[in-house]
Structure 1
Amino acid sequence: MVVGIGRSPYSRNSGRTTASLAVEACRSAIADAGMDLSEVDGIVEFNVGDSVGSLNVAYALGLPGLRMPVDIQNGGNVVTLAVALACMAVQSGKCKSVLVYRSLNSRSGQRIGTYTGNLNIGGDDQYGAPHGYMAPGQWFAMYCRRYMHEFGTTYEDLGRIAITTRAHAGKNEAAIMREPITMEQYLASRWIYDPFRLFDCALEADGACAILVTSRARARNLQQVPVQMLDEETFMGRHPDSWEDMGHLFSARAAPPLWERTGLKPADMDFACIYDCFTFTTIGVIEDYGFCEKGGAGEYYASGKATYGGDCVINPHGGLLSEAYIHGMNHHFEAVLQLRHQAGERQVKDAKVALVTAGTGPFGGGLIYARA
């Protein structure tokens, strides 16, 4: 059960360490639950670039020790897996209560194009590096171009995702970008990697976000409505350049088992927090999860099905495109807030069940939350 949520402010230049941001988010999650610090005996965090490890955060929080410190060396493709690990630790009895957090200075800290430290590149990425081909935006621009060729997706289809997501952010005081954008503004925005323009790319940000997981029995005596993780499915494929079918993302493999095991379907979701590192990711993922047919996401958005009054509100907080790029951890904060019915102006009416996804390309996962 998720019983607490916390976050730091999101900004473009925090002026703080990732340790400070993480501790603030974790303390807020514990306080939100109304739990004593001493009950937390596990921490799961994931990181790439600048971040801070679980043991350092435990020490800064004043915890007496951890029964399960987990540090996953990876990015936003593992966030649903990180939450699942925390839930499994509690369910098995390994831990009483587990924090899951992500802390990063993705705008003011280590960034491709500005980082001046050790620039050695290892692993598979070393082969693209001499050609300047080493950024996720470059990899998934290739996927998007193939997708446009195969399914007829247009620039305007991408633009509709950016415009709708920004409109949702307008009602979110925590979002960094809240000003509406028009199709004309979208099409006039500068190129990043063709076919991606500026508004197609996640909003690099500084900040931290955390959730607190505990048992059903303990949740009964805490101060918030608990939110249950029903199930999770992750699929990790090969390096983006080795993926055999750019027309289908990880979600083509992760979605069927999740729907089958839970007995749920897209029509049962009141809202969805889709990992929108790029507008294209939203398109590929909602199609693979069955919210619409392949090639149909543009029309799904154009017809209003992805917003309030439609079939399923997608990214009611503004997502990674407009709220902040906290590697998808902020999706979990929003999902819990909505399922508690505490989202204020942007509250999805009578929200009971939600899909939250992570990652893009060959790597990612999804989970389903339900109001307990």
Structure 2
Amino acid sequence: MTKHSQAYVVGMYEHPTRHAPDISTAQLHFEVARGALIDAGLTLDDVDGYFCASDAPGMGAATMAEYIGLRNIRHTDSTETGGSAYLVHVGHAAAAIAAGKCNIALITMADRPLGAKQGIKLGGVDLTQFVDLAYTGAFPIPPLAGYAAVANRHMYEYGTTSEQLAWVKVAASHHAQHNPHALLRDVVTVDDVVNSPLVADPLHRLDCCVVTDGGGAIVLARADIARRIKRPMVKVKGCGEAIRHRTNDRFDLTTSGAIWSGQAAFAEAGITPSDVKYVSIYDSFTITVVVQLEDLGFCAKGEGGPFVADGNLISGVGRLPFNTDGGGLCSNHPGNRGGMTKLLEAVRQARGEAHPAVQVPNHDLVLAHGTGGSLASYHVSSTVILEAE
């Protein structure tokens, strides 16, 4: 067995709110922790490993363990990699379980940029401490402009079109209509996307993700404990993580860290992309999905546009269903950190608990992938492969 495959996902919970003006971030962390433990049939006292990122207020794990009421923690990890942090935490938690550092690990994520009126700010991150801003602060690149640059380069290099990118949003909207908690539930067409306002050439308004409050939590456990819990068995099959940076601005805008994190996860799982029948892919923008599908090996570099077109990402229609909850493009992107929601829907699919209209029949192997940072600059990619037993 690998260092990760000795751990199983036994609990999960996604907060239903998309706007939390009257709930503190700490309270959101507590509510998602409680929800995931109830799902697993466990209590706070059963948890001996706790994982969180800088969206957790105060002194991270120390503050939140006390606030939540976690009294028996003997292993903790506050790794911060932006939106991919929670997928990184799955790998770290699974490795800790295999090493005997803990038996039951809780991962929480929660933030409220709308309730706190922070806009697109990444909760818990002090932008004044970014060392590169001393040199680039006079000419900041907001996320939208950076991803527009990625899209432009992809179009220049490979002939990708706005209509092909639009199909990513169309697929997400087809799935979101079945999610009662999705922020945007209306089904859209390719014409709707390309005719929506242009916000940063070539990206339109509907090419962009939503911004929400909320959060989620995952519980992992040792194999023998998982077998005693009356929940579907979902094994952590393989994990990978990688940092991609600009190398003094000499780098390829169309390539992400997924080329390394995906290879590591597939190698550890002992499978290939063709074995995976469902994916949860980070979808901050439509171009994000295209680049990551290529780098993960689901299609060749430059073929992402045709791969996602014509409904190929729609469950029950296409070759590779993705983000069947509606994803960050339509449902939920709490704290501008989309990694946790990718994990949650991947677990639902592996359990066979997704909405019947979007549940993938062959769901024994599913993949979740996240990016923290920006594809246009430095970022951390993390890939998690889950297996339903």
1:129 aligns with 2:175: no
1:170 Cα deviation from its structure 2 partner: 0.9
The residue number in structure 2 matching 1:219 is: 226
AA partner of residue 369 (structure 1): L
Task: Indicate if the aligned counterparts of 1:80 and 1:366 stay in contact, CA closer than 8 A.
Answer: yes
Out of 94-103 and 296-305, give the one that drifted further: 296-305
Per-residue CA distance 1:322-343 (angstroms, 9 max, x = gap): 1111322011111111111111
The residue number in structure 2 matching 1:353 is: 365
1:51 Cα deviation from its structure 2 partner: 8.1
Alpha-carbon distance in structure 1 between the residues aligned to 2:38 and 2:165: 39
Percent identical? 27
1:80 Cα deviation from its structure 2 partner: 1.7
1:49 Cα deviation from its structure 2 partner: 9.4
Per-residue CA distance 1:44-79 (angstroms, 9 max, x = gap): 112359788223332233221421232223311333
The residue number in structure 1 matching 2:333 is: 325
- How many residues align structurally? 370
State the SS of the aligned residue for 2:79.
strand
The residue number in structure 2 matching 1:276 is: 283
Q: 1:223 to 1:51 in 2, by over 3 A?
A: farther
1:112 Cα deviation from its structure 2 partner: 4.4
1:365 aligns with 2:376: no
The residue number in structure 1 matching 2:201 is: 194
Per-residue CA distance 1:186-232 (angstroms, 9 max, x = gap): 12222332222211222110001000011000011112112111111
The residue number in structure 2 matching 1:145 is: 152
The residue number in structure 1 matching 2:353 is: 342
Alpha-carbon distance in structure 1 between the residues aligned to 2:121 and 2:11: 36
State the SS of the aligned residue for 1:295.
coil
AA partner of residue 329 (structure 2): L
AA partner of residue 385 (structure 2): I
The residue number in structure 1 matching 2:4 is: none
Task: Indicate if the aligned counterparts of 1:237 and 1:243 stay in contact, CA closer than 8 A.
Answer: no
- Give the TM-score normalised by structure 1: 0.92
AA partner of residue 283 (structure 1): V
Task: Indicate if the aligned counterparts of 1:50 and 1:104 stay in contact, CA closer than 8 A.
Answer: no
State the SS of the aligned residue for 1:354.
strand
1:42 Cα deviation from its structure 2 partner: 1.2
The one of 111, 125, 129 aligned to 2:119: 111
The one of 303, 306, 321 aligned to 1:313: 321
Task: Indicate if the aligned counterparts of 2:29 and 2:56 stay in contact, CA closer than 8 A.
Answer: no
Per-residue CA distance 1:4-52 (angstroms, 9 max, x = gap): 0012223134431111111110101011001122110111112359788
Alpha-carbon distance in structure 2 between the residues aligned to 1:231 and 1:38: 28
Task: Indicate if the aligned counterparts of 1:52 and 1:103 stay in contact, CA closer than 8 A.
Answer: no
Task: Indicate if the aligned counterparts of 2:29 and 2:68 stay in contact, CA closer than 8 A.
Answer: no
Per-residue CA distance 1:227-256 (angstroms, 9 max, x = gap): 111111111022597351112111122223
1:344 Cα deviation from its structure 2 partner: 2.8
The one of 72, 83, 88 aligned to 1:76: 83
Task: Indicate if the aligned counterparts of 1:352 and 1:371 stay in contact, CA closer than 8 A.
Answer: yes
Q: How large is the RMSD of aligned CA atoms in angstroms?
A: 2.4
Unaligned runs of 5+ in 2: 1-7
Alpha-carbon distance in structure 2 between the residues aligned to 1:136 and 1:14: 25
Task: Indicate if the aligned counterparts of 1:51 and 1:104 stay in contact, CA closer than 8 A.
Answer: no
Task: Indicate if the aligned counterparts of 1:237 and 1:363 stay in contact, CA closer than 8 A.
Answer: yes
State the SS of the aligned residue for 1:150.
helix
Q: 1:262 to 1:27 in 2, by over 3 A?
A: same
Task: Indicate if the aligned counterparts of 1:121 and 1:129 stay in contact, CA closer than 8 A.
Answer: no
Task: Indicate if the aligned counterparts of 1:305 and 1:311 stay in contact, CA closer than 8 A.
Answer: yes
Alpha-carbon distance in structure 1 between the residues aligned to 2:238 and 2:150: 28
State the SS of the aligned residue for 1:47.
coil
Q: 1:343 to 1:241 in 2, by over 3 A?
A: farther
Alpha-carbon distance in structure 2 between the residues aligned to 1:6 and 1:129: 38
- Give the TM-score normalised by structure 2: 0.88
Alpha-carbon distance in structure 1 between the residues aligned to 2:248 and 2:114: 26
1:119 Cα deviation from its structure 2 partner: 7.4
Task: Indicate if the aligned counterparts of 1:189 and 1:197 stay in contact, CA closer than 8 A.
Answer: yes
Task: Indicate if the aligned counterparts of 1:18 and 1:51 stay in contact, CA closer than 8 A.
Answer: no
Per-residue CA distance 1:291-310 (angstroms, 9 max, x = gap): 22222222222233322233
AA partner of residue 24 (structure 1): E
1:101 Cα deviation from its structure 2 partner: 1.5
Task: Indicate if the aligned counterparts of 1:270 and 1:351 stay in contact, CA closer than 8 A.
Answer: yes
